[in-house]
Amino acid sequence: MRYLAFKNADHITGLGVKDTQGGYRGLLQHQPGYPGNLDTLVTLGADALEHAGHRLLKTGAPIDLAAIRYLPPLRRPSKIICVGLNYRAHTAEIGFEPQSYPAIFARFPSSLIGHQQPILRPRESMQLDYEGELVAVIGRGGRRIARAQALDHVVGYALFNDASLRDYQFKSPQWTMGKNFDATGAFGPELVSADELPPGCHGLRIQTRLNGQVMQSASTADMIVDIATLIETLSEVFTLQPGDLIVSGTPAGVGAGRTPPLWMQPGDVCEVEVEGLGILQNPIAQEGV
C-alpha cells in the first residue's frame, strides 16, 4: 500500500492511501475512524498499518491532491540515520577513497519537509547541493539484527533529497552542520509498503533531475553497502526503533563534483525518482524572502 500524510486547507492533518484507480482516499484526524498518523501506526507494526490502509479505502473520502499540503510521511522519527559515500562513483567524484565501513551521520527531524514544499537556501551559504536517496523505514525494532532477517524489519520505503550546504559540511571532519539546516531534508511523497517493492529495493533506477535535466542516474544495485547489511551494521551498535529512517546514500552527479560546481538556486525545481516509489519534487527558495 501507499500512504500519504497531508494537511488540508484548514491546516488539519490527515492520512490517505492510494486506491486501485490511482486516486487517494483518506480521513482527517478529527473524523470518526481516523486510524492515527504514520508515526503511530508504524510503531504498531506492519499488520496495524495494513489494517489502517484497508479502513481508509473502505471509509475514507476522495482526496483532492491540488488542495492539500504534503507532509513528510513520518514527522517525529527517533533517528534519521544517513549513509555517506555509499556509491563508488560518488565517492570518487568528491575525492574520497572507497570505505570498508559505511560513513554514518545523523539528520534531525527539524530539517524535514514534504513533497512540493520548498527546500530553503539559508542566508549563510550559497552552496546548496542536491542528493537523491532511497529511505528504508524501520517497522520492527531490534539490536544485533542478522543480515538474513534484516529486511523483515523494514516496513516501507520512501524518497529523500539530502540537500546539503557544502561549505558547512566541510568546515570540520564531521558533516552534521552542513546536513541539518532547516527545511533541507525533503522526504516523501509516500510511504510505500515493502511488499510492493523488490527485497531491499535492489536493482531499481534512481535519478535526480534539476529543472528537468538529469543530474544523477544509477541503480540501487550500485550501493556499496545494501539495505540489509546497513541494518545489520547499524544495529550492532544501537537499537533500531520503529519509525527510524535509514537514508541510504546518493549516487554520482552531485553539484559539488562538477567543474565548476553547480549549486541549486532559488526558482529551481529538483526531482528525485526511484522506480516504484514515484517522484519527490521540491522547488528551491531563498530563506527569509
What amino acid occupies position 53? Answer: G
Q: How far apart are CA 269 and CA 119, in angstroms?
A: 9
pLDDT at residue 138 tops 90? yes
Report pLDDT for 98: 79
Least confident of 44-58, 95-109, 193-207, 251-265: 95-109
Q: Are 159 and 192 in contact (CB under 8 A)?
A: no
Tell me the sheet residues that pair with 129: 164
Please give the share of the chain, as a percent, with pLDDT higher than 90.
Answer: 95
First-to-last C-alpha distance (Å) of the chain: 38
Going from the C-alpha of 117 to that of each of 64, 197, 285, the distances in angstroms are 17, 26, 10
What amino acid occupies position 157? Answer: Y
Q: Are 108 and 81 in contact (CB under 8 A)?
A: no
pLDDT at residue 262 tops 90? yes
pLDDT in tens, 172-206: 999 999 999 999 999 999 999 999 999 999 999 99
pLDDT at residue 97 tops 90? no
Average pLDDT (30-58) is: 96
Average pLDDT (204-223) is: 98
Place of cell 489502517: 52
CA neighbor of 227 nearest in space, from 201, 245, 205, 252: 201
Report pLDDT for 122: 98
Report helix, strand or coil for 271.
strand
Mean pLDDT of all residues belonging to the chain: 96
Where is pLDDT greater, at 89 or 279?
279
pLDDT at residue 12 tops 80? yes
pLDDT at residue 95 tops 70? yes
Report pLDDT for 90: 87
Cis peptide before 260 (omega within 30 of 0): yes
Report pLDDT for 93: 85
Least confident of 12-26, 41-55, 93-107: 93-107
Q: How far apart are CA 200 and CA 151, in angstroms?
A: 7
Report pLDDT for 88: 86
pTM for the complete prediction?
0.96
pLDDT at residue 94 tops 80? no
Report pLDDT for 144: 98
Contacts of 84 (CB under 8 A, 6+ apart): 102, 103, 104, 105, 175, 249
pLDDT in tens, 68-79: 999 999 999 999
pLDDT at residue 289 tops 80? no
Report pLDDT for 96: 80
Please give the share of the chain, as a percent, with pLDDT higher than 70.
Answer: 100
Q: How far apart are CA 249 and CA 91, in angstroms?
A: 10
